[in-house]
Structure 1
Amino acid sequence: MKKVLYSLFIFASATLFAQKNTKVKFAVLEGMVGTTTLFDSQKDYMQSKQAYKAASLPQKLKKFSFIADQGLTEFKLKNNAGILDNMSLAQFNEQYDLPKDTPVIIEGYEFKDTSTRIFAEIAQQIEVKDHNGVKSLFITTTAKL
């Protein structure tokens, strides 16, 4: 009986870590991934924003369809605004001594293309955890209290 309960506990915790956080709304700016929370806090520098439902993404945003469960918002900067700090997921992997091509998990969404750039400010918490038998980065976009 203990073995069954232990196995159930392991399975439950593994599924818990792999769940997508559907409360986070992703956004894209010049092909780089952020969150709507990040860009909404930078309103003075934003020229426009356009929200799309997952089913109606324009061709240029289709590569981000895997993070568009709650829709995807595209932001555009004003001409005189500088771009926010950003890094490729491969660079994040290197900082944590992981192979560059190791997929990164952001809020439960697996980013397989590590050339994808994200805005550094969204990475509020970064942990190295086991994901399908491989050490991977798990990035949380909200600070834990």
Structure 2
Amino acid sequence: MKKLFYSLLLLSSATLFAQKNVSAKFAVAGDTVGTVDLFTNSYKNTIEGTRSYKSAAELPQNLKKFSFIADNGLVEYKLKKNQGALDKTTLSDLNNRYGLANGTPVFIDGYEFKNTNLTVFEEMLSKVEVNDSHGLKAISVTTKK
């Protein structure tokens, strides 16, 4: 009975955190995650080239680690050289800022980022909050303003 209870508890907490934003379209520049909106609105003068992928199956080997966020495709941006440093942070640093353990998964627009060594652009972190579901705390980020 305990196993059933804990299974339901785990499933309900995963469901609470995992409300994916179906309109979210992620982008990558180098190894840093952003959104298409971020690049087209804020970084359009820094873009040298783009490559769009319609599904996770199309991703080249170097982008396979981002397949979990490619539900709506993924855009790879190449930034111009000689650009000033763009503000970036690792998800583990974000966890530290909010008093959570480094390895705690972070949810961005409902997508679970388990690898907290990934780097994201600071500017895409519109709304950041710590959600608590049955004692499990995790950061939830909304990228739309």
Which residue is 1:3 aligned to?
Answer: none
Q: Any residues of structure 2 matched to 1:54-73 within 5 Å, and which?
A: 54=55, 55-73=57-75
Which structure has more relative contact order (CA 8 Å, sep 6+)? It is 2
Tell me the secondary structure at the aligned position of residue 63 of structure 2: helix
CA 1:13–1:105 in 2, change beyond 3 Å: closer, same or farther? closer
Normalising to structure 1: TM-score of the pair?
Answer: 0.85
Correspondence for 1:120 among 119, 122, 140: 122
State yes or no: 1:49 paired with 2:50.
yes
| Structure 2 length-normalised TM | 0.85
Label 1:99 to 1:13 Cα distance change in 2 as closer, same or farther (>3 A).
closer
Aligned residue for 2:82, secondary structure, equals coil
Secondary structure class of the residue paired with 1:63: helix
How far, CA to CA, are the matches of 1:132 and 1:52 in structure 2?
37
1:63-92 alpha-carbon deviations (Å, 9 max, x no partner): 000000000000011112123100000000
Between the aligned partners of 1:48 and 1:30, the Cα distance in structure 2 is 12
Structure-2 change in CA distance of 1:83 and 1:132 (3 Å): farther
Please show how residues 100-111 of structure 1 align to structure 2 within 5 Å: 100-111=102-113
Quickly say closer, same or farther: Cα 1:64–1:15, change in 2 above 3 A. same
Q: Is the 8 A contact 2:17 2:107 kept in 1?
A: no
Q: Alignment partner for residue 100 of structure 2, among 98, 101, 104?
A: 98
Are the aligned partners of 2:18 and 2:112 in contact in 1 as well (CA < 8 Å)? Answer: no
- For structure 2, the residue ranges without an aligned partner over 5 or more in a row are 1-10
In structure 1, the gaps of 5 or more residues are 1-10
Aligned to 2:82: 80
Taking only aligned residues, the RMSD between alpha carbons, in angstroms, comes to: 2.0
Number of paired residues? 133
Identity of aligned residues (%): 50
1:18 Cα shift?
A: 2.3
- State the 1:17 CA deviation: 4.9
Question: Relative to 1, partners in 2 of residues 1:91 and 1:13: Cα closer, same or farther, differing over 3 Å?
Answer: closer
